[in-house]
Amino acid sequence: MRILLIGFGNVGRAFLQLLEEERRRFRKIGVDPKVVGVVDRGGAAIFKEGVKTSRILEVKAEKGSVAYSEEGGFPQMDALEAISIVQPDLTIEATSTSRGGSGPALKHIVKALENGSHVVSANKAPFAYDYDTVMRVALSRGRLVKYSATVGGGLPVLKTLRTLTIGDVVESCRGVLNATSNYILTLMEEGRSYSEALKLAQEIGIAETDPTMDVSGMDTAYKITIIANTIEGGHSVNEVEITGIENIRFEDLREAASSGYSIRLLGEFTEEGKLRVGPSKLKRGSTLDVSGTLNAVEFKMRRAGPVCLTGKGAGPFETAAAIIRDIFEIVEEAMR
């Protein structure tokens, strides 16, 4: 199986390392996954016989882009060109999620599908803005698109959702879907201001240097939209009513705590089909009242009632593991 990896940040790098470790598992089902191309902002690197993981990681660390690889490096080559040249069996879209629209990721995914490649994406934007387009192209080309890594990372939210919808109906869904903002709120509960908590979270590597996506509620909005799209399609993140956590004061948390509540940033998909993201009061100890970097999602099923998933939110390796699981699913489905 010839794989093209688009995007070589933390997730892309973790994916290559994890793939090395999981190679034997693939061989057991008769598949030899070979990453024949890697694309980043500086260009592309193409290897007929498959990339040597340690070498490409070194080039990236030392020179800043895979395009400067002595063998196979093509500065300026973009992802679309790489797809045409490599003609991969599977394309992994792992560029960073854009704001305001699907960005280049949608073009990458469509081009890959049109070239007969299956797609696994860790990029949320195309599934939050243009879900229907992506699925239509995939269907018309008879290719598979998987995107488990976009929600919950290590937590199998979308897979559970697909299982639940067989023989039952999801009526609504609520969840704490962003680890960074939940972590900041947890730190604030100890009496820190928002800016103090954010600074500490950045120092120990939980929050990114630019935390806007997380704290503004945008990341949660992307995820709840993707959940809604997986349930019924037809949604866009543009319809989500979003409030972030930037204006929460620790006095608000204290006040809530005194009456037995905590405040969490919730993403909601209501029974009426509405999408909403914002800080909500939750009864202390309730299923969604998770602290630290935990995520929690609750699906309300018509027959089975509430179903809840709780676990650690995503880091690069959890996300990479979700990509690997998606590849497995594609192999199994394509073999059927």
Partner 1 sequence: MKIVSLNLENTGLEIKDLCKKLVEEADEELILIVEPREDAVKILSDAALSRISEEEAIEKLAAELNNLSRGIAEENKRIVEAEIVESLNKISEYLRAEKKAGGATPKGISLMLNTLCNTITIIVSNHFKSLGKDAKWLTAGQAGFTLIEDYELPWSHYVSLSKPEELRKALTGILVLSGRVCFDKQGNETNLRKGMGSVIAILVANEIGVKEVYVPKANGGVYTADPNIVENARVIPSLSYAEALELSRLGEWFVSPQAVELAEELGVRILVTNIKSPFKESTIIGFEKAVEKQIVKAVAMIPDMSILTVEGAAMAGTPGVASAILGEVAKRGVSICMISQDASEVGITLVVRDADLERALKGLREGFSRERIVKRIRIQRNVAVISAVGEGMRGTRGVAARIFSAVAEAGVNVLAIAQGSSETSISFVVLMEDAKKAVKAVHDKVILGIQ
**What is the C-alpha to C-alpha distance for residues 210 and 156, in angstroms, rounded to an integer?**
27
**Which x/- pattern, by CB under 8 A, does the window 269-308 give for partner 1?**
----------------------xxxx--------------
Q: Are 267 and 254 in contact (CB under 8 A)?
A: no
In this complex, which beta carbon is closest to partner 1, that of residue 61 or of residue 335? 61
Tell me how far, at minimum, the Cβ of 13 lies from partner 1, in Å: 10
190 binds partner 1 (CB under 8 A): yes
Size of the site for partner 1 (CB under 8 A): 25
Give residues 1-60 in contact with partner 1 (rule: CB under 8 A): 17, 21, 24, 53-55, 57-58
Residue 142 interacts with partner 1 (CB under 8 A): yes or no: no
Using the rule CB under 8 A, is 194 a contact of partner 1? Answer: no
Examine residue 205 and tell whether it contacts partner 1 (CB under 8 A).
Answer: yes
How many residues appear in the chain? 336
Cβ atoms of residues 86 and 202 within 8 Å:
no
Assess 183 for contact with partner 1 (CB under 8 A): yes
Nearest CB to partner 1, comparing residues 28 and 336: 28
The active-site residue out of 34, 111, 146, 223 is 223
82 sits in which H/E element: helix 79-86
Judged by beta carbon, residue 207 or residue 237, the one nearer partner 1 is 207
| CA gap 268, 228 in Å, rounded | 9
Helix (H) or strand (E) holding 174: strand 170-176
| Complex with partner 1: residue 203 or 272, whichever CB lies closer | 203
Please choose, from the candidates 240, 185, 236, the residue with its C-alpha nearest in 3D space to the C-alpha of residue 211.
185
Residue identified by tokens 């993981």 is: 53
Looking at beta carbons only, is 31 or 187 nearer to partner 1? 187
Q: Of these, 187, 215, 227, 323, which contacts partner 1 (CB under 8 A)?
A: 187
Stretch that binds partner 1, among 67-75, 204-212, 216-224, 260-268 (CB under 8 A): 204-212
Residue 146 among the catalytic residues: no
Q: Give the pair of three-digit tokens for residue 231.
A: 């349930």
Q: DSSP for 90-156?
A: EEEE-SPPPSSS-THHHHHHHHHHHTT-EEEE---HHHHHSHHHHHHHHHHHT--EE-GGGSSTTS-
Residue numbers annotated as active site? 223
